[in-house]
Amino acid sequence: MMLRIFTLSLLILLGSCGGTQEPVATDGATAPQKIYEWRMVTTWPKNLPGMGIAPETMAKKIKTMSNGRLDIKVYGAGEIVPALEVFEAVSQGTVQMGHGAAYYWKGKVPIAQFFTTLPFGLTAQEMNGWLFHGGGMELWRELYAKYNLVPIAGGNTGVQMAGWFNKEINSLEDLKGMKMRIPGLGGEVFSRAGGTAINLPGGEIFTSMQTGIIDATEWVGPYNDLAFGLHQVAKYYYYPGWQEPGPNLELIINKEAWDELPLDLQAIVENASLAVSADLLAEYTARNNAALRELVDIHGVELRRLPEDVLLGIRKISYAMTEEIVDPNDELANRIYNSYQTYRDGALSYHEISERAYINARAAK
């Protein structure tokens, strides 16, 4: 009897421990997860180094991190909508996502420029500090909610160049009558200084310079400017980029589409965008110097610094116009302005004894 009981127990044990037996399906099996197929439009020419590749990289990361549950197809400027209509396309739900820069929408949302860049404003490092630890992101989302949008930081190119000119700039008088491609508040400052600002998408800059539609242009910096061949249509390359000290790019998402995503996919989108943002700034930091050396040493570009009195004059105009774009009757606009200025003043004070002090010490002879 004991032998029988032992044998039966052993058979039951072996049966329960079998490692090759297939699991039995039950009525409660997990249903396949939903696949989301989205479209992203950008303000950048397709495959533009840096800014144009960043949305593609972002889409690939999101697809990989989501195991294919969120599949995003990226379109360059003009493939679905013109470059400067990305904001409207995403807001209205024509597409789910867009990648661009907030100052392109200044005609519709003037205060949005604070979330890209302002003349003599925040550097890339300072902008990230304001957005992520200074209350900027909360204000940005509150503003864009009015337009059915969710914004996420989408990259930064760092301090840009002042631009390409077909004549020397020795005084503010030299700007008068000049037609320049320069967007955002920087363009309005340029116009008040006596020039004429023209807002053109990147894909139209070379031809406009070549045909004389514009006399000068700023684009980004050596890395992208070399790719565009701007050294072929202008002689003088000026710095520093007073108009764009740290331009923050944006990923914008249609609010209804965003709300449909499960929380884990929302987290994946945000983290993929942040990863690409950090990588983009690193890319420009690494590539700009090599591109500048090629422009100067191989292509014979004349690198010039804007005269100090020109910079002082432009700065005075810039500070006045920054206040002017804030509607005194718009409570949110005033909160954005006050938050930005308070953070800027604090960063400026601290960087006198940190960033600036160190760079000056490093450069000392």
Which CATH number do you get for residue 327?
Answer: 3.40.190.10
Question: pLDDT digits over 25-45, tens only?
Answer: 334 455 678 999 999 999 999
Residue 365 pLDDT class (50, 70, 90 cuts) = confident
Strands (E) located in the chain: 36-42, 70-75, 97-100, 149-156, 163-165, 179-181, 196-198, 216-217, 236-239, 248-254, 302-305
Cβ distance 319 to 190 under 8 Å? no
**Percentage of the chain with pLDDT > 90?**
90
Average pLDDT of the chain is 92
Residues 171 and 205 in one domain: yes
Distance CA 223, CA 286 (A): 9
Number of domains the chain is built from: 2
Q: What is the pLDDT of residue 35?
A: 97
Domain assignment of residue 25, yes or no = no
Cβ distance 116 to 247 under 8 Å? yes
Q: What is the pLDDT of residue 254?
A: 98
Average pLDDT over residues 298-321: 97
Residues 338 and 237 in one domain: yes
Distance CA 230, CA 210 (A): 9
At residue 166, what is the residue type? N
- Reply yes or no: is the peptide bond before residue 262 cis, omega within 30 of 0: no
CATH number at residue 254: 3.40.190.170
Average pLDDT over residues 67-73: 98
Q: What is the pLDDT of residue 14?
A: 37
Residues 116 and 90 in one domain: yes
Cβ distance 143 to 332 under 8 Å? yes
Q: What is the pLDDT of residue 26?
A: 39
Question: pLDDT digits over 177-192, tens only?
Answer: 999 999 999 999 999 9
| Residues ≥6 apart with Cβ < 8 Å to 254 | 90, 91, 93, 95, 96, 97, 148, 149, 150
Residues 131 and 230 in one domain: no
Q: What is the pLDDT of residue 31?
A: 62
Residues 99 and 220 in one domain: no
Q: What is the pLDDT of residue 3?
A: 41
Residues 46 and 117 in one domain: yes
Residues 94 and 177 in one domain: no
Residues 75 and 169 in one domain: no
Domain assignment of residue 293, yes or no = no
Domain assignment of residue 3, yes or no = no
Domain assignment of residue 31, yes or no = no
Burial of 263 (0-12, 13-18, 19+ CB in 10 A): exposed
Query: 260 lies in which domain range?
Result: 36-156+246-286
Q: What is the pLDDT of residue 32?
A: 77
Token couple for 294: 């090629």
Residues 227 and 255 in one domain: no
pLDDT at 1 over 80: no
Residue 285 C-beta-side C-alpha neighbours within 13 Å: 12
Token couple for 212: 């004389």
Answer with the one of 224, 255, 286 that is the final residue of a domain. 286
Question: pLDDT digits over 120-178, tens only?
Answer: 999 999 999 999 999 999 999 999 999 999 999 999 999 999 999 999 999 999 999 99
Which H/E stretch holds residue 133?
A: helix 124-133
Residues 189 and 263 in one domain: no
Token couple for 75: 């379109």
Secondary-structure breakdown of the chain: helix, strand, coil percentages, each rounded to the nearest 5: 50, 15, 35
Domain assignment of residue 344, yes or no = yes
Residue 89 pLDDT class (50, 70, 90 cuts) = very high
Residues 61 and 185 in one domain: no
Domain assignment of residue 205, yes or no = yes
Domain assignment of residue 82, yes or no = yes
Residues 215 and 253 in one domain: no
Domain assignment of residue 94, yes or no = yes
pLDDT at 82 over 90: yes
